[in-house]
């Protein structure tokens, strides 16, 4: 057409909005973003809570430094606090781990000796760092991060004092449960060892958005022409390799059909739906069906659940310099799987609470993390049931049976969201970084004339930065660039075609 190609983007998370923004900036005029839910942002979601704001999804900029596009945009838009902008903060290498050791409480109602915590945590961090050294392929293809760490634990435990074994094991179980939250995996036994180090950590001390992570998405979408993003437009199916007549006598290769009966023809479709959605729906979502390289990638890659339980307290029971509270269940061990009875035991999977700051603006708020099946079970409980479990938990761990219950609560339910189906992706045992690249590969994959009919973006398509907002952002820009390059190959930039 005279206005350049029609591009339909499915999903208005950060990857979809990033793709739309870049295409629009490069002169593409006919862009639509179709979003299933009533809001933009996807897994970036900020809500009012207590005296301030709380992140239901993404919380930190992981590695806020010049190589991180989320950091770049956030600083350009003026969305960061003064500390995040300090050059020294941008150079700190925390290797993805909290800079300080949490205050730890045990299930017998006492604080754990900080020296014991420090020793075990440092030991664990050394092993975890070693799991990242196998990207050269010199490793068992069936190996997992969990198995690797368990072997280190067994070996190391032979040198521990008898009376410390139980506590050390309990602490290590908690550390593995934290790792499950980081990877959104039920067990670290599901996370593949060989490709684990492909995930790349950028330098910088993780920081948050004082006005909420969603402020970033709002700034990114502001320059898009009115009417670009359509909310409550769930896509039902994508028909590619076809010839669909448009209103302008042009024939298009792709047609997108929506749940509400609407349909859109397009030259190019960028699919940014979460891997969790593809796992449930890809079989009837694409017609013709996806090639085997794609269906294998969708099946083999991991996509699990990490949820938050956010609690507001009238008064803090923690000291003002506490930034994190670790929960250590005595008697639990990293060498055995957690107990199966979810109703009784789900909360034993919850290893850590982060203190949300600053209390003057926030109130006294703890944000707990929980991953895996226990997290998915938690989603089925009522607020009252969770509040009562949390009240019991804190009474037990502080050793104060009178501790007042939290005054309010909010939790995430990412697994039950029909258009998300979990939290984020990981490279599971049985898959590799090649699957991530295959997921990113546009259709058709063979050498047909009409290339780039269906493109794929989203967090799960970035081999080195999956599971993050910057990975998602990069993936949206990557696919936009693919289309920009395609039209410059023809020697006609889209904006010139428009004139
Ligand atoms: C980060 C962080 N963070 C916590 C929690 C979660 C995530 N992440 P979107 O889903 O946003 O958009 C797709 C849209 O498509 C969506 O709006 C749908 O409604 C729509 N859609 C679906 N189907 C549709 C249809 N049929 N039709 C139309 N529309 C449809 N990232 O940078 N910092 O602190 C956290 C965290 C609880 C849930 C996070 C974090 C992940 C990001 O939120 C996520 O990657 C992006 O927002 C995804 O954007 P998108 O556009 O791709 O999809 C060593 C090693 C190990 C590796 N892991 C370590 C990394 C640690 C990851 N950390 C995460 C931690 C937290 C706390």
Ligand 1, atom 55, lies closest to the CA of 199
Give 80's Cβ-side CA count (13 Å radius).
Answer: 23
Confidence at residue 446, expressed as pLDDT on a 0 to 100 scale: 78
CA angle 37, 41, 43 (to 5 degrees): 90
Confidence at residue 98, expressed as pLDDT on a 0 to 100 scale: 66
Tell me the CA–centroid distance for residue 298 and ligand 1, in Å: 16
Q: Ligand 1 pocket: which of 58, 146, 371 to mutate (most atoms <8 Å of CB)?
A: 58
Tell me the CA–centroid distance for residue 406 and ligand 1, in Å: 28
Ligand 1 atom nearest to 131, measured from its CA: 54
The sign one gets for the Cα dihedral 75, 79, 84, 85 is: positive
Tell me the CA–centroid distance for residue 65 and ligand 1, in Å: 20
State the helix-helix crossing angle for 145-157 and 165-183, rounded to 10 degrees. 170
Q: What are phi and psi of 461, to 5 degrees?
A: -105, 5
User: In the sheet that 364-371 helps form, which strands lie side by side, from edge to edge?
Assistant: 103-106, 324-328, 352-356, 364-371, 306-313, 408-411
CA dist., res. 186 & res. 441, Å (int): 28
Tell me the CA–centroid distance for residue 58 and ligand 1, in Å: 7
Q: Ligand 1 pocket: which of 8, 10, 12, 13 to mutate (most atoms <8 Å of CB)?
A: 13
The sign one gets for the Cα dihedral 333, 328, 179, 299 is: positive
Confidence at residue 491, expressed as pLDDT on a 0 to 100 scale: 47
CA dist., res. 17 & res. 41, Å (int): 8
Ligand 1 atom nearest to 37, measured from its CA: 19
Confidence at residue 499, expressed as pLDDT on a 0 to 100 scale: 39
Ligand 1 atom nearest to 469, measured from its CA: 32
What is the value of pTM for the model shown? 0.96
Q: Ligand 1 pocket: which of 61, 182, 274 to mutate (most atoms <8 Å of CB)?
A: 274
Confidence at residue 249, expressed as pLDDT on a 0 to 100 scale: 87
Ligand 1, atom 17, lies closest to the CA of 42
Query: Do 61 and 468 meet the contact criterion of CB atoms below 8 Å apart?
Result: no
Tell me the CA–centroid distance for residue 315 and ligand 1, in Å: 33
**Nearest of 306, 241, 249, 238 to residue 278 by alpha carbon:** 238
Tell how many helices (H) and how many strands (E) occur in the chain.
Answer: 17, 21
Tell me the CA–centroid distance for residue 33 and ligand 1, in Å: 17
Confidence at residue 442, expressed as pLDDT on a 0 to 100 scale: 97
Pocket around ligand 1 at a 6 A CB cut-off: 10-16, 34-37, 42-44, 57-60, 62, 96, 182-183, 196, 199, 234-235, 272-274, 277, 306, 308, 412, 414, 419-420, 423-424, 458-459, 467-470, 472
Per-residue pLDDT of the chain (499 residues; tens, 9 = 90+): 568 999 999 999 999 999 999 999 999 999 999 999 999 999 999 999 999 999 999 999 999 999 999 999 999 999 999 999 999 999 998 766 666 889 999 999 999 999 999 999 999 999 999 999 999 988 999 999 999 999 999 999 999 999 999 999 999 999 999 999 999 999 999 999 999 999 999 999 999 999 999 999 999 999 999 999 999 999 999 999 999 999 888 999 999 999 999 999 999 999 999 999 999 999 999 999 999 999 999 999 999 999 999 999 999 999 999 999 999 999 999 999 877 899 999 999 999 999 999 999 999 999 999 999 999 999 999 999 999 999 999 999 999 999 999 999 999 999 999 999 999 999 999 999 999 999 999 999 877 668 899 999 999 999 999 999 999 999 999 999 999 999 986 544 555 444 3
The sign one gets for the Cα dihedral 223, 226, 232, 233 is: negative
Burial 317-336 (b: 16+ CB within 10 A, else e): bbeeeeebbbbbbeebbbee
**What is the token pair recorded at 153?**
């634990």
Tell me the CA–centroid distance for residue 112 and ligand 1, in Å: 34
Tell me the CA–centroid distance for residue 458 and ligand 1, in Å: 8
Tell me the CA–centroid distance for residue 39 and ligand 1, in Å: 14
Ligand 1 atom nearest to 472, measured from its CA: 52
């Amino acid at each position: 057409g005279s206005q350049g190609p029609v591009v339909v983007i499915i999903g208005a998370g950060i990857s979809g909005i990033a793709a739309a923004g870049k295409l629009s900036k490069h002169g593409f005029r006919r862009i639509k973003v179709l979003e299933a839910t009533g809001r933009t942002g996807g897994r970036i979601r900020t809500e009012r809570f207590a005296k301030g704001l709380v992140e239901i999804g993404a919380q930190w900029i992981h590695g806020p430094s010049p190589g991180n596009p989320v950091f770049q945009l956030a600083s350009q838009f003026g969305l960061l606090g003064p500390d995040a902008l300090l050059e020294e903060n941008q150079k700190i290498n925390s290797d993805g781990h909290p800079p300080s050791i949490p205050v730890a409480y045990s299930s017998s109602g006492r604080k754990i000796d900080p020296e014991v915590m420090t020793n075990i945590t440092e030991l664990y961090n050394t092993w975890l760092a070693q799991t990242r050294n196998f990207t050269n392929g010199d490793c068992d293809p069936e190996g997992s991060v969990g198995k690797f760490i368990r072997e280190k634990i067994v070996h190391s435990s032979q040198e521990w004092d008898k009376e410390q074994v139980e506590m050390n094991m309990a602490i290590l179980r908690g550390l593995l449960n934290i790792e499950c939250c980081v990877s959104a995996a039920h067990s670290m036994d599901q996370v593949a060892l060989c490709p684990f180090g492909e995930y790349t950590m950028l330098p910088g001390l993780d920081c948050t958005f004082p006005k909420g992570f969603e402020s970033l998405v709002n700034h990114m979408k502001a320059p898009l022409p009115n009417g670009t993003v359509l909310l409550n437009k769930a896509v039902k199916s994508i028909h590619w390799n076809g010839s669909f007549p448009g209103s302008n006598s042009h024939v298009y290769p792709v047609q997108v059909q929506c749940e509400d009966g609407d349909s859109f023809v397009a030259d190019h479709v960028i699919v940014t739906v979460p891997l969790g959605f593809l796992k449930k729906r890809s079989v009837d979502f694409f017609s013709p069906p996806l090639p085997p390289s794609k269906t294998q990638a969708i099946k083999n890659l991991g996509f699990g659940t990490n949820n938050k339980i956010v609690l507001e307290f009238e008064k803090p029971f923690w000291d003002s310099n506490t930034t994190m509270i670790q929960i250590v269940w005595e008697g639990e061990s990293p060498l055995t799987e957690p107990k199966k009875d979810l109703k009784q035991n789900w909360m034993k999977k919850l290893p850590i609470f982060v203190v949300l700051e600053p209390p003057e603006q926030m109130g006294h708020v703890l944000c707990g993390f929980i991953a895996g099946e226990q997290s998915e079970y938690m989603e089925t409980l009522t607020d009252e049931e969770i509040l009562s479990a949390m009240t019991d938990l804190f009474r037990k761990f502080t050793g104060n049976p009178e501790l007042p219950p939290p005054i309010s609560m909010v939790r995430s339910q990412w697994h039950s969201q029909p258009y998300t189906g979990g939290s984020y992706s990981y490279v599971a045992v049985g898959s590799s970084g090649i699957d991530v690249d295959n997921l990113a590969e546009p259709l058709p994959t063979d050498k047909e004339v009409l290339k780039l009919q269906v493109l794929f973006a989203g967090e799960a398509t970035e081999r080195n930065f999956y599971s993050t907002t910057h990975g998602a952002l990069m993936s949206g820009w990557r696919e936009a660039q693919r289309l920009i390059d395609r039209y410059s190959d023809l020697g006609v930039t889209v904006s010139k075609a428009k004139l």
